[in-house]
Structure 1
Amino acid sequence: MLLVALVLVGGSGYAVWTNLDSLTGLTSPLASKDFPGPGGDQVDVEIPQGATGQAMGEALYEAGVVASVSAFSTAFEANPDSVLIRPGTRTMLEEMSAEDAVALLVKNELVDLQVTIPEGYTVEQVVERAVQVTGLPAEDFEAALADPEKIGLPKQAKGKAEGWLYPDAYMAKPDATAAGLLSQMVGRTVRMLQEKNVDRSDWQTVLTKASLVEREGLHAEDKPKIARAIENRLADDMALQIDASVAYGAGKPGTELTRADTNNAKNRYNTYQHTGLPPGPIANPGEVAVDAVLNPAPGDWKFWVTVNLDTGETKFAEGFDEHQQYVAELREWEKANQ
């Protein structure tokens, strides 16, 4: 009798859900319902990096592509090629059958994606952004970077792409490759230097200086002044003492630098311990920073410091005593904004 009662309760529960569907139009995404297909209007759906079949089904269900997550999951597991589905934005159809939805995803026909690289990104950050947007494996980018000729790096780069990946927006087509994207970035940098009539022998030096200016200056109007201050220090054989360069060589954020870091002479990018420019660029500079290096502002500044870390306000000084006054201003700001 107990068994019969349980069966009846289960049956009544199913009946209640079924009747609720018919009366309200509500549908459980977990119910094994399926559209007959072939589908209607187009709709773009984003498949996240590392998404499981369940997560894909939920995204498609929310977009109205499949009738239920359960039906999609079943079709996903039944298709042996489903493991090849790459992340990215796909153009799907509303009300597709689950089987057809999986088959379309397997084709990996991605919508063109825009990879935007901000000024001042390092190579590591560029790769992270490209992997995130395109879904291409990080290993592909690492392999391309290890083959300088494949991505068009000039000999002046000495095999390192840092500084040569031009910050801009790039359209990644469905058949885009890591090497292809990096080649576009390098090509843009080369064209920019050529258009500005920079002598080929000066390319690496200009990019190195521009990368320092890029990481030190937040506002465009400050960059020509920073470029001039760098030139003035180099002319007097003064250490540049640029924290961004030390941090790059130490592999840590500039906000985490310690006295030990600035005292570490083993760090070739330590511009406290080594005079002159660092061995190469510390980031990928934009055109404004390059222009600042090619046309630095006239002045006798040798010091600069950002006195307000929120606004990026930077003050310049010719002498050390004046500079110390601005440093004290920064310390006051830091105390007030802890």
Structure 2
Amino acid sequence: MSQEEKKSRNGGRREAEPERREKKPSRRRRRAGISGVLLYVLFIIGVSAFLAGVGWVAANDVLALNKPEHTAIITIADGEKFGNVIDDLKENGIIEHKSFFWIFSVMTKSKDKIAAGTYELNTDMDYRAIITNLGSHSASRQEVTVTITEGMTVAQIFQLLEKSGVSTVEKLNDTAANHDYKFSFLENIPLGKATRLEGYLFPDTYKFYMGQDPLYVINKMLVTFDAKLTEEMRQQILDSDRTIAEIVTVASLIEKETDGTDQGKIASVIYNRLDHPNAETAGFLNIDATIYYVTGKTVTQADYQGVESPYNTYLYKGLPPGPIANPGMVAIRAAMNPDSTGYYYYAMNSKTGLHEYSKTYAEHQQKLASFGD
């Protein structure tokens, strides 16, 4: 066929070109596509895991699941902002996430249910229980002020609280003996006796309500002790190779043996006797206040040997088993920072009302004779 005939059959058009074949994507492009899909899938999985984790964290806090046991005292002032209340809950370890608590409060319309007052909360409470407790209007109950003075014993404190109408001695003793308060300084003190808290009910002025829960009352004093013993003080005690229990015990002896003016010197005598058991004193503290703690009455020195108790520092060497009173901060600091002296003896001069100190037993006897008692 001639070229003209071909042209005529095609209507004067050129013969159509064959269709082009699609090129297969290169291996590099296929790999890039697979990688993109994989990254997207991993992203979706990651986001899902994150959201699931957030959901679990939220549930753990909202429902109080798997939270370590902890009790705290929360005080809400009249007109206090709700945000400040949430801050207090967070700082005291009752909640973990302020934003979740805020959202819960808004959704349940419970912000306005909170009342001014002092409350005891714990980590066993879920958000609803926290709100309920903070709205219990305990502030409407009669409030009393109780002053615990330095050197008071657990027994004396509980008697004062009963006299003030806060609780009864029986309830306070039972709670002190058997409730496992979660404070590090109580970890090695066994349950069973109210005196296990001796030394740790910090002297201060407290506000309580009539008929208050003894768990709250005792916890408030323990929280105060815990707050007063700063991290710097704890580190200093640790560096001294002594324990908090030993420091508090020495502080209680100082509190009972001084009039508040010479704690450092009394502390030096106690430590000199403890740290030099081969001295004349042979490791005996010979502190009258430990006898009184056991007997509750004044006993003559002639009868001291007959008082069978590990608290009898005339009969047993070293420190008594625990504190004999609840010391204040001055005595605690004196126990941590005793004066540097060579004294092993002291005695009260009845004429001056002051302690006089001696390095030897002979010197001590001479001073006693000079007092003319």
* Aligned match for 1:252, one of 293, 296, 300: 296
Corresponding position of 1:188: 224
Corresponding position of 2:260: 219
CA–CA distance in structure 1, aligned partners of residues 328 and 300 of structure 2? 25
Ranges in structure 2 where 5+ consecutive residues have no aligned partner? 1-137, 278-282
* Aligned match for 1:132, one of 163, 172, 176: 163
| SS at structure 1 position matched to 2:230 | helix
Cα drift, residue 265 of structure 1: 6.4
* Aligned match for 1:166, one of 202, 225, 228: 202
Cα distance change of structure 1 residues 232 and 286 upon mapping to structure 2, 3 Å threshold: same
Corresponding position of 1:157: 189
* Aligned match for 2:350, one of 308, 325, 328: 308
Cα drift, residue 248 of structure 1: 1.3
CA–CA distance in structure 1, aligned partners of residues 189 and 368 of structure 2? 36
Amino acid at match of 1:158: P
RMSD between aligned alpha carbons?
Answer: 2.4
Amino acid at match of 2:313: T
TM-score, length-scaled by structure 1: 0.60
CA–CA distance in structure 2, aligned partners of residues 194 and 148 of structure 1? 24
CA–CA distance in structure 1, aligned partners of residues 203 and 139 of structure 2? 27
Cα distance change of structure 1 residues 265 and 136 upon mapping to structure 2, 3 Å threshold: closer
Cα drift, residue 186 of structure 1: 1.3
Q: Name whichever of 311-320 and 226-235 sits farther off.
A: 311-320
TM-score, length-scaled by structure 2: 0.55
| SS at structure 1 position matched to 2:164 | helix
Q: Does structure 1 retain, via aligned residues, the 8 Å contact 2:161–2:168?
A: no
CA–CA distance in structure 2, aligned partners of residues 145 and 151 of structure 1? 12
Q: Does 1:287 align with 2:329?
A: yes
Which of structure 1's runs of 4+ aligned residues deviate more than 6 A? none
CA–CA distance in structure 2, aligned partners of residues 134 and 300 of structure 1? 48
| SS at structure 2 position matched to 1:128 | helix
Amino acid at match of 1:259: A
| SS at structure 2 position matched to 1:259 | helix
Cα distance change of structure 1 residues 116 and 214 upon mapping to structure 2, 3 Å threshold: same
Q: Does structure 2 retain, via aligned residues, the 8 Å contact 1:264–1:270?
A: no
Cα drift, residue 147 of structure 1: 1.8
Q: Does structure 2 retain, via aligned residues, the 8 Å contact 1:229–1:303?
A: yes
Amino acid at match of 1:193: L
Q: Does structure 2 retain, via aligned residues, the 8 Å contact 1:193–1:203?
A: no
Cα drift, residue 184 of structure 1: 1.1
Q: Does 1:319 align with 2:360?
A: yes
Q: Does structure 2 retain, via aligned residues, the 8 Å contact 1:156–1:204?
A: no
Cα distance change of structure 1 residues 166 and 257 upon mapping to structure 2, 3 Å threshold: farther
Corresponding position of 2:284: 239
Corresponding position of 1:328: 369
Amino acid at match of 1:252: G
Q: What whole-Å deviation, never above 9, does each CA across 1:1-50 have from its counterpart, x for those lacking one?
A: xxxxxxxxxxxxxxxxxxxxxxxxxxxxxxxxxxxxxxxxxxxxxxxxxx
CA–CA distance in structure 2, aligned partners of residues 165 and 116 of structure 1? 12
Cα drift, residue 318 of structure 1: 1.0
Amino acid at match of 2:168: P
Ranges in structure 1 where 5+ consecutive residues have no aligned partner? 1-106
Mapping for residues 49-198 of structure 1, pairs under 5 Å: 110-150=141-181, 152=183, 154-159=186-191, 160-174=196-210, 176-198=212-234
Q: Does structure 1 retain, via aligned residues, the 8 Å contact 2:146–2:206?
A: yes
